[in-house]
Each structure stands twice: as structure tokens, then as C-alpha cells.
Structure 1
Amino acid sequence: MAMVILGAGGGLGKALTNALTAEYPEETIVTVSRQALEAPGERIQRIQVKDYSEDALNTLVDDFHSQGLKLTGLISTIGMLHDDDTFPEKKLGDLSEANLRKLFDVNAIQPILALKSFRSVLDRKHTAFWVQLSAKVGSIEDNYLGGWYAYRASKAALNMLLKTASIELKRTHKRLVVAAIHPGTTDTALSKPFQSRIPDEKLYTPELSAKRILKVINEIQPEDTGKLWHWDGTELPY
């Protein structure tokens, strides 16, 4: 049995690796990243991938099958807010087709295709959770400020895709909880351009965010599948 972290090369991914290793001492932890990571530690299997395309994910799953590996949990940190060519839009006029396509691909399409690929190695009797990091700003009901069109919309699409998948998987994986979790503003590369406007007490270390995410995971039950959660364990509206 094993647990997987997709996107393990970022600050939060590394913190989640350490947290999972400590929280589940009987599990093998498989970290998947596009970046080369340090040499494997005890109980940690490192895998570097070119990207998170469906072909790359299917190849990874084929390797799991060849090892006879079944998963009891997976956390995905796949997602993006900005890069050198893309920045959150302040107004409608800032929208571009290229940025919309890019953020929908990374924030919605890649995560749901990961679930599609990995479902064959989710243990039907023992898999406890499939968690994808999402964002509070993806809540349609909670949107009072506007802006950030592509990021908000792609995260809203992600939430709908996960909700839909949870309904199907409830029939085959009765112990599985599919969850989207908002980790809060964490001190990582994703939040760097926006940290100057964030109060110190609302900018969290990766270690604290990882601890909170695991606390949510440990508290949610199969009947909670398909929901969006705040890091403090409260349910967020879609």
C-alpha cells in the first residue's frame, strides 16, 4: 500500500511529504514531481515526470500496476496562479484566450485526468482519500470582489469536476473521500507576488498549511465526499 503526492517539488508539496511520512508510518510515500528531488529517504519513493499530461500519468500508473502497488491516499498540489507570461486579471479587458486555456489546463484538466488515470490503482476496500488543493476564490457564491477571472473560473471548474467524479466513485469506492481543500495563503512561489498585501498572521508556513490539510483529511468521512473545505475544517460553498 502507498500514498502519493502529485506536485511534490513545491514548498507545500515538500511539507506534505514530511507530514504524510510522519502521520502514516506504515505507508510507502510516493512523491511525483517535474523537478528532480533529493535522493530517496526511507519509505519515500521519488519519481520525476516530464509533465502531468494524460500520457505521462498513464505511464506512471502502468508502473504502479507492474509493482502491484495500490493506493490508500493521494494529495495533488497541481495548480498555478501565475508564471512569467500570466498574471491574474484585474479587469475584463485583461483577459486573453491563451491565459484562459493555460489556467484551465493546469487547474482543472490536469487534476481530473490524474483522477481518471489513477482510479485503477485506488484500492476499493482501503483507499481513504483523494485530495486536490483548490482555492476559496473558486467559490462562485463567495465571489464578492471580482477579478482573477481565469483563476477563479478554472478552480470553479475543478470543483465541479471533482464533485461529479465523487458521485460516480461513491458507487465503487465506498470508503473513498474525494475532497477539494483550500490551504490558505501559504509562503510559496505561488503567493510571492501578493505577499506584501497580506498580514503576517494570514501568511502561513508550508509546514503549518500541511499540518492543517492533514487535520482536515483525518476528520472528513466518506459521507463528506465531493465537498470543498477550508483549511480550518469548515465546508465552503461552491
Structure 2
Amino acid sequence: MKIVVIGGSGLIGTQVVSGLSKLGHKVFAASPSTGVNALTREGLAEAMSGTNVVIDVANSPSFEDGPVMDFFQTSSRNLLAAEKAAGVQHHLALSVVGSERLQASGYFRAKLAQEDLIKASGMPYTILRATQFFEFIPAIVQGGTDGDVIRLAPALIQPIASADVAAAMVDLAVEAPVNGIVEVAGPEPLPLDALGRKYLTAKQDPRQVIADIHVGYFGTPVDDRSLTPDAGARIGAIRLDDWLKR
């Protein structure tokens, strides 16, 4: 199959391109650096020609409310229109577990808007919702930094290695569209403050982590259901402790 990966040079995209290439598929890593821009439509029609599956793992360069909404809506509309014109058979997109429960955040409002556009497009589709990546933990800790301490909510999170997300994307790309949502999460839920302590211990960082119910997740209110998957989610193989040892 010919498979186009939008955002193919990013954290998830590079791993998806590698995994699908190893299976023998013809894979094109599409990004502005390779002449394909979903925002401006540059190179989209050419990239879609003869394509069977499109995987969208692109992320917005800005998380500000206006720009992030514009990015996901504009790029998705352009991409879906180009796919439909070219006869693409499967649109596979990466989204985030809990998006509908985190609507106080402009980023998650934009991700839900992206999902809605995909569902309404008439394209055969699969949406893979993933929990937060292990690779995001440094940003989570930085976001909770308050002087010499780290303040993180005690709400549950079930983070996952990006490699496990990419593996799930590869599996779904070669399967029939589900015309629905699939969730993937890490092997173990734990409170955000405990996640921060594990990370700081692994980094031999002596700062204290304080559980604070008021800080939310990057300022967005959260509880134990906000960042965790529903029953039946696919579960990644890589455990946090093993990832930290690397």
C-alpha cells in the first residue's frame, strides 16, 4: 500500500514511517520540509495521488486558543478534501484520551473539533486516542514548577511510551477503518504528583513534589477520569519504570 504520514518527521510520525516501511509499504513522510503543507494545501494533491491510507499525526506549533483551533480545523478540512478527491480509502488520525472531558482547554477543544470534522467528512476513518506520552513528563514537571517545588494535581494519569502509540498506529493503518474511536494507554495509572516524583527520582532531582488539587493539568481542572481511558483500551507494553531507566 501507499501510505502518507502527515507530520511524518515528528516524534510519532518518524516511528510510524519506520514501522510501516519495515512491513514493506510505500510510505511518504509528508511535512512542509518535504513539500507538503496541509495548512496551505501546498503539495497535497500530488501526495494523495495513488494513496491508500493517510495518517495524520501533525501537531499545532502553537497551543494558544485561536491558533491551535485554526491549525486543526484548517489542516483537517484541506486534508480530508484532498483525500476524498483522490479516492483515499482510510483516514487515520491521532487524538487524545479525554478530549471531551477537558473542554476548558483550548487545545482539547481544537482536538475535539478535529475529530468532529473527520466524523462528518464521509471518509472511512479511524481515530486513535492516546493518553499523554512518557516523553511529555518533563513538560508536565516544568509546568508545575513553583519556585523550588513542583505542584501537581493528584488526579490519575495513565501515560504511555510514544513507541507504543506508534505501534498502535501501524497496526490500525493496515486494518480496515473502524469508523470510530480506538483508545490506547500505558500499562499503569498513577497520580500526576506520583508521576512527577518518579521522574525527579530517576533524574536525581531533589526538588519536592506537592500534591495540589487546585493546579489542574496545565491549568485545566482534572479528576481521576480526565486523563484515563475507558474500559477496553489497548494497553502499551512499555512500563514507566523501564522507560525511565533508559
TM range (shorter): 0.5 to 0.7
- Note if 1:78 corresponds to 2:78: no
Partner Cα distance (1:29, 1:215) in 2: 14
Structure with the higher helix share, 1 or 2: 1
For residues 147 and 192 of structure 1, what CA distance do their matches in structure 2 show? Answer: 23
Tell me the percent identity: 13
For 1:60, which of 44, 63, 73 is the aligned residue? Answer: 44
CA contact (8 A) 2:91 2:125 kept: yes
Aligned equivalents of 2:12 and 2:6: distance in 1?
Answer: 11
Equivalent residues of 1:12, 1:210 under 8 A apart = yes
Write the letter of the residue equivalent to 1:178. Answer: Y
Matched, 1:156 2:142: no
Pick one of 27, 30, 33 that aligns with 2:28: 30
What residue ranges of structure 1 are gaps of 5+ in the alignment?
36-46, 87-98, 170-176
Structure possessing the higher radius of gyration over alpha carbons: 2
Structure 2 SS opposite 1:55: coil
Task: Please give the root-mean-square deviation of Cα atoms over the aligned residues, in Å.
Answer: 3.1
Contact 2:38–2:44 (8 Å) recurs in 1:
no
Which string of whole-angstrom CA distances, capped at 9 and with x for unpartnered residues, describes residues 172-200 of structure 1? xxxxx312111322244x6641267699x
SS in 2 for 1:71: coil
Which residue of 183, 192, 199 corresponds with 1:230?
183
Q: Quick one: which of 137, 144, 160 aligns to 2:98?
A: 137
Judge conservation of contact 1:54–1:117 (CA < 8 Å) in 2: no
Distance 1:109 1:75 in 2: 16
1:1-238 → structure 2 map (5 Å cutoff): 1-23=1-23, 25=24, 27-35=25-33, 47-49=34-36, 51-56=37-42, 59-61=43-45, 63-64=46-47, 69-80=49-60, 83=62, 86=63, 99-123=64-88, 127=89, 129-139=90-100, 143=101, 147-148=104-105, 150-165=106-121, 168-169=122-123, 177-188=124-135, 192-194=138-140, 202-218=158-174, 221-222=176-177, 224-225=178-179, 227-231=180-184, 234=232
Q: Normalising to structure 1: TM-score of the pair?
A: 0.62
